[in-house]
Structure 1
Amino acid sequence: MQVSHTPAAVSAAFDDPNLIAYAGLVPVMRLAERCGLPRLVTEKVKLTGVTNGAGAAADAKVTSIVAGMVAGADSIDDLDVLRHGAMPTMFGGIRAPSTLGTFLRAFTHGHALQLHAVHRRFLGALAAHTPLLPGADQMAFIDVDSTHKRVYGRTKQGAEYGRFKGIHTLHPLLATICTPRSRPVIAGVRMRRGKAADSRGAPKFVSEALATAAEAGCTGLRVLRADSQFYNAGVIGACRRAGAHFSITAGMNPSIKRAILAIPDQAWRQITYPTAVPDPETGELISDAEVAEIPAYTAFASRKKAERVTARLIVRRVRDLAKPATIAEQGELFPAWRYHPFFTDNPAPTLQAEREHRHHAVIEQVIADSKASAMAHLPSAHFHANAAWLTLWAMAYNLLRATGALTSAFHAKATTATLRAHLIHVPARLARSARRITLHLPHNWRWQHAWTHLFDTVHAPPEPG
């Protein structure tokens, strides 16, 4: 492809007041309104005692930030993408980045908790209005994990040298919900200091995530999945109090090592993965492994009786090619193995439970998405402003996922970048006639039928009842 005119024959001017660059925000923010986002913010977020008017019109400020994040803004300054062309004609209440920055800096810990309440109820409304979590009445997986986000600046509150030497980080905690037929959505997020232990606050966070899953329509079997950092009695107790099952990677402590060594050779079952999976320790792709189960393993045996848990210990082992095989006294060749145990009360058959547990890695997609979008920059020096920014990103992420689910089967599984490219970043020209506004979009837009279906769906009269 090449430019069809000479340089002298082409000019450019930013002078059309009737154009908008993100026409996809029209149906997306209409969906947010239908699910009650402005109303929830008005009801829950009360920035009382805040000076400079930062607490006024919280609904307009929250929806402005969410809309900017949906369009791809990853810093406070980037929220200015909403103020161009005919955007003020199409949307009311757009706020300037400086106003939104002042609003975020007014947050305290209590205000952040109020915003968490908005997030939980907004997710429930999205699940009720769209096919966001198909099959949630049968089975749902709640995944919990933490991540470190590198930050810069000596004045960044909460930034500390954490897991990585010489690198200042903050340490967010995330929980997602998915079903066997859906991509994950965010059940909850928490901002923590860089040095916070991986499992700090995990039991309470797990309880809230499981409650959020129930509000989002997960009324069937619920399985909480997590890595070994969350292998503790508090997390498992939270699952049992909520009536959920658990599937948690277990560290190789002495008790588990003894249990694995006691597994007879005939108990190991050969499995072959249809597609190679990465080894969690080396990153090497593996296709073959062996699985065995200890049906009644008692964890936390040193704790008081009420905190001991008896459930299944499922172990996967793969050949450790980095270590040579050993020869016993009789001359037999013994291969070296690496063992990957997890502790679960998932009622599924052994191989199915093992496969479902490995799928916990799906939360890494959400973490990667966050670092490629709104969490690319934690924009403030104020800890609670960054905590609010993180929660607002979770709302924007869930709103985009609901938009995809409402658009087509393809977009229900598409990545966030694809949703933006197909549905949000489409330009339009506004035309007014008889008190009506018409959006004129590009001819031959590749995804025009999907976009039109989304637009017509969210603008149709609400169903009665």
Structure 2
Amino acid sequence: MARLPEAAWETSLRQDGEVQEGYCVAELTGLNTRDGWPEGMRLTVRRVRPSRRHLKQLTAFEQKTGWRYSVTATNIRHMGHIAGTHQVQFLDALHRGHAEVEDRVRTNKATGLANLPSKSWEKNASWVLTANLAADLDAWLRLLTLHDQADLCDAEPDAMRFRLYHLPARLAHHARRRHLRIERTWPWAQAFTTSWKRINDLTAAT
């Protein structure tokens, strides 16, 4: 990376194609690859100014340059005859999308996937299915009803349990009707009622 000229760096792109200011990508193939490098493999690098939580994890080179780097090796040179897929910005955005998959696996583990309850294959298979269903429901709830709630739209499963699923409320019966009485001082009471209303307003699948 030290041999890369500044002109080699290009502004990164988001998955939707928009420019991602403050992030840069460059091609390393041919510079940091020695003899024996697999034919067709490419090496790309991404840099960004480190956040406070990353400062203690920087290498000596990163501390010297003031950038945090991440390197990706890929055998994707281009995708069919789709124009632009050979460009380093496209490959960078493509592989960052793969990181979303890894993140979903991590959150699935937090909804029970990491704790298989039995030595029985059948019971564990049922548990995995149930854990994945719970993770899907959590993701769809946030997508459909909490998309404009800053502290909930991207919340981790543990945060969702504390803020929304373990709700301080009491189910009361009056005049043959049931009423859910939510503690008014609960910071996410409004978010819960908004989410509930949006769920009920969804068009039924046909």
TM-score (norm 1): 0.29
**What do you get for the CA RMSD once the two structures are aligned?**
3.8
Q: Aligned to 2:38, what secondary structure does the other structure show?
A: helix
CA separation of 1:434 and 1:390: change in aligned 2, threshold 3 A: same
CA separation of 1:288 and 1:429: change in aligned 2, threshold 3 A: closer
Partner of 1:422: 163
Map residues 55-454 of structure 1 onto 2, 5 A cutoff.
Answer: 180=15, 257-258=38-39, 273-275=47-49, 287=67, 340-346=73-79, 347=82, 348=85, 350-359=87-96, 360-409=98-147, 410=150, 411-454=152-195
Residue 276 of structure 1 deviates from its aligned partner by: 5.2
Structure 2 residue identity aligned to 1:383? W
Q: 1: distance between equivalents of 2:186 and 2:108? A: 28
Identical-pair percentage: 22
Residue 406 of structure 1 deviates from its aligned partner by: 2.3
Structure 1 residue identity aligned to 2:48? P
CA separation of 1:351 and 1:276: change in aligned 2, threshold 3 A: farther
Bigger radius of gyration among the two: 1
1:63-115 Cα distance to aligned partner (Å, 9 max, x none): xxxxxxxxxxxxxxxxxxxxxxxxxxxxxxxxxxxxxxxxxxxxxxxxxxxxx
Partner of 2:25: none
Conserved in 1, the CA contact under 8 Å of 2:170 and 2:180? yes
Query: Which has the bigger relative contact order, CA under 8 A and spacing at least 6?
Result: 1
Q: 1: distance between equivalents of 2:145 and 2:115? A: 30
Residue 355 of structure 1 deviates from its aligned partner by: 1.7
1:35-90 Cα distance to aligned partner (Å, 9 max, x none): xxxxxxxxxxxxxxxxxxxxxxxxxxxxxxxxxxxxxxxxxxxxxxxxxxxxxxxx
Conserved in 1, the CA contact under 8 Å of 2:142 and 2:153? yes
Q: Aligned to 1:431, what secondary structure does the other structure show?
A: strand
CA separation of 1:288 and 1:427: change in aligned 2, threshold 3 A: closer
Conserved in 2, the CA contact under 8 Å of 1:431 and 1:438? yes
CA separation of 1:452 and 1:288: change in aligned 2, threshold 3 A: closer
State the number of aligned residues: 157
Q: 2: distance between equivalents of 1:384 and 1:432? A: 41
Residue 340 of structure 1 deviates from its aligned partner by: 2.4
Structure 2 residue identity aligned to 1:365? D
Conserved in 1, the CA contact under 8 Å of 2:77 and 2:86? no
Q: Aligned to 1:379, what secondary structure does the other structure show?
A: coil
Residue 427 of structure 1 deviates from its aligned partner by: 2.0
Structure 2 residue identity aligned to 1:450? A
Partner of 2:19: none
CA separation of 1:381 and 1:432: change in aligned 2, threshold 3 A: same
Q: 2: distance between equivalents of 1:418 and 1:406? A: 18
